[in-house]
């Protein structure tokens, strides 16, 4: 080949991540053929075996390299004359090698001589203008910016456009290579005087490209999460109000949910209680028991908290607070809070809260399911259609069962009696735990989540999660749900709804 065969061209480096799922001759050959079909005028291929595999599949020039990790030299790219000769034998048209001024197994001059003796072209992978100057003096055909930023110190993010320009003052045969990840960067390299431009990871390393997009998306979400939101969690007995930024609760108060006064009064009481916070938040997130549709709030089980049907919560709250408002079911908000900042670890997640009632939330592929999704407490199968599950399991049921047994006690007090060994209380708590365990099994069979996160005042009460796990003993391990306690505790809802509210931009 002649040097001008690759003039003003794109060269694609087909080098998979070592040991990765595409590190096979079949994948490398496939990458190479796809690149050529799309217009690449040359390829850069690593290893004797891969050069040999690709050569019969394409009719464009191949730049061949060998990478070795040596104990006595930092030089990795084609360090030995034997490597260069083997690349030529395998079908390389150009042999590239490390031309940096470091301790090396063999001189640049000897590599150039060996390659030219076999009638092939040479490319010096350089880290500096001085490397390029020395390589040209040794007779190389091309100089590349390949090793700029890789011979010490922190690795840069962007390509070294300045080095391309500087090398062009020495020779027109400059190949731009290294950290060229976007079409804009490739164009900038060409405009800087590159004879040809190499793009590698951005095209053929799925792992790298995925990580770039993952980090960019995460950074965008994190930028949202740095906003401060007013988070409100309206429960059946109390309302938690907080200023939240990211996963951090900056300030919080609790006010009673006076059930008889209704939601207009609740919003007014909240606004009055946090009047001094007015300038500290930009958005409002409200988590509520029940169902949110088109900004309107409805009770699915009025026994938990009765409200007017289709109460215009978002409109009313926007008028009250004067800021953009987002509303969602409280358990769905808590599920998101645990996913982003608590017990979630990146996998699909189901959150189950057992408290005054029973609610839940589902995260699939990094997104919370809205609408009716997760309203597990309202299923009626266990009662043969007679009543919602939460009416036979939740804190209200526990207190009611205690009263039937002749004990006026709250759910929390029933737990105290049970943990003290009192049989009547133990029987009530055990029955609740059994029904919760059955629900968890059903959820696992329907959704197969990685984890089921258990929260709520009952769910996190002392000994309750252990009782649920005891009920699961003996089930086939493949069918047994993995239960983990909520890490955010009672704050899961406010943290979650704050995060969801700031993401509505």
**Mean pLDDT to the nearest integer, 35-57:** 98
Please state which architecture CATH assigns to domain 346-486.
Answer: 2-Layer Sandwich (3.30)
53 pLDDT higher than 90? yes
505 pLDDT higher than 70? no
Q: Which of residues 268 and 344 earns the better pLDDT score?
A: 268
| Start-to-end CA span in the chain (Å) | 55
CA–CA separation, 407 and 124 (whole Å):
87
CA–CA separation, 349 and 424 (whole Å):
35
**Mean pLDDT to the nearest integer, 465-488:** 92
45 pLDDT higher than 80? yes
Please state which architecture CATH assigns to domain 228-342+487-505.
Answer: 2-Layer Sandwich (3.30)
**Mean pLDDT to the nearest integer, 467-492:** 91
Residue 498: pLDDT band (50, 70, 90) is very high
pTM for this structure?
0.58
* Burial zone of 119 (CB within 10 Å; 0-12 exposed, 13-18 middle, 19+ buried): exposed
The residues with which 288 forms a beta bridge, in sequence order, are: 234, 329
Q: What superfamily in CATH does domain 3-212 come from?
A: Aldolase class I (3.20.20.70)
467 pLDDT higher than 90? yes
pLDDT, averaged across the chain: 93
pLDDT at 225: 62
Same topology for domains 3-212 and 228-342+487-505, yes or no? Answer: no
Q: List the single range of 10-14, 273-277, 465-469, 477-481 with lowest mean pLDDT.
A: 477-481
Domain boundaries, the chain: 3-212, 228-342+487-505, 346-486
**Mean pLDDT to the nearest integer, 81-100:** 98
pLDDT at 259: 85
* Burial zone of 348 (CB within 10 Å; 0-12 exposed, 13-18 middle, 19+ buried): middle
Taking residue 172's Cβ as centre, other Cβ atoms within 10 Å add up to 12
pLDDT at 422: 95
Residue 222: pLDDT band (50, 70, 90) is low
**Mean pLDDT to the nearest integer, 4-25:** 96
Percent of the chain with pLDDT over 70: 98
**Mean pLDDT to the nearest integer, 341-345:** 84
Residue 378: pLDDT band (50, 70, 90) is confident
490 pLDDT higher than 90? no
Q: Which of residues 348 and 284 earns the better pLDDT score?
A: 284
Per-residue model confidence as pLDDT tens digits over 112-167: 999 999 999 999 999 999 999 999 999 999 999 999 999 988 889 999 999 999 99
């Amino acid at each position: 080949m002649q040097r001008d065969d690759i003039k003003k061209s794109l060269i694609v480096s087909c080098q998979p991540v070592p040991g990765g799922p595409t590190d096979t001759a079949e994948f490398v050959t496939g990458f190479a053929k796809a690149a050529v079909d799309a217009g690449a005028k040359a390829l850069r291929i690593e290893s004797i075996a891969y050069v040999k595999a690709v050569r019969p599949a394409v009719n464009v020039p191949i730049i061949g390299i060998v990478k070795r990790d040596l104990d006595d030299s930092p030089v990795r790219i084609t360090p030995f004359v034997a490597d260069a000769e083997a690349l030529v034998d395998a079908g390389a048209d150009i042999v590239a090698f490390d031309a940096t001024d470091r301790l090396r197994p063999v001189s640049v001059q000897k590599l150039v001589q060996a390659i030219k003796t076999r009638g092939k072209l040479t490319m010096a992978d350089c880290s500096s203008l001085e490397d390029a100057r020395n390589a040209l003096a040794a007779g190389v055909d091309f100089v590349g910016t390949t090793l700029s930023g890789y011979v010490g110190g922190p690795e840069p993010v962007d390509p070294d456009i300045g080095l391309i320009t500087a090398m062009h003052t020495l020779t027109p045969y400059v190949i731009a290579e290294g950290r060229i990840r976007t079409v804009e960067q490739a164009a900038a390299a060409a405009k800087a005087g590159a004879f040809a431009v190499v793009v590698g990871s951005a095209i053929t390393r799925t792992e790298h490209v995925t990580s770039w997009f993952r980090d960019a998306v995460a950074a965008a979400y994190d930028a949202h999460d740095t906003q401060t939101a007013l988070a409100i969690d309206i429960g059946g007995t109390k309302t938690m109000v907080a200023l939240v930024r990211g996963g951090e609760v900056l300030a919080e108060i609790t006010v009673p949910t006076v059930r008889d006064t209704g939601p207009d009064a609740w919003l007014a009481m909240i606004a009055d209680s946090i009047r001094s916070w007015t300038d500290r938040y930009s958005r409002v997130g409200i988590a509520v028991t029940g169902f949110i549709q088109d900004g309107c709030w409805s009770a699915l089980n009025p026994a938990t908290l009765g409200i007017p049907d289709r109460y215009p919560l978002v409109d009313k709250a926007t008028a009250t607070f004067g800021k953009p408002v987002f509303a969602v079911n409280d358990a769905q908000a808590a599920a998101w809070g645990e996913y982003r900042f608590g017990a979630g670890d990146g996998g699909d997640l189901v959150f189950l809260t057992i408290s005054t009632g029973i609610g839940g939330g589902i995260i699939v592929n990094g997104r919370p399911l809205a609408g009716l999704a997760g309203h597990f407490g309202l299923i009626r199968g266990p009662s043969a259609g007679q009543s919602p599950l939460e009416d036979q399991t939740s804190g209200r049921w526990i207190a009611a069962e205690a009263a039937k047994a002749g004990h006026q006690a709250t759910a929390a007090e029933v737990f105290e009696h049970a943990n003290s060994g009192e049989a009547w209380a133990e029987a009530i708590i055990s029955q609740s735990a059994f029904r919760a365990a059955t629900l968890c099994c059903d959820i696992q069979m329907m959704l197969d989540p990685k984890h089921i996160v258990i929260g709520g005042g009952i769910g996190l009460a002392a000994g309750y999660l252990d009782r649920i796990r005891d009920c699961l003993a003996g089930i086939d391990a493949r069918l047994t749900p993995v239960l983990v306690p909520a890490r955010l505790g009672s704050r899961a809802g406010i943290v979650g709804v704050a995060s969801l509210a700031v993401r509505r931009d």
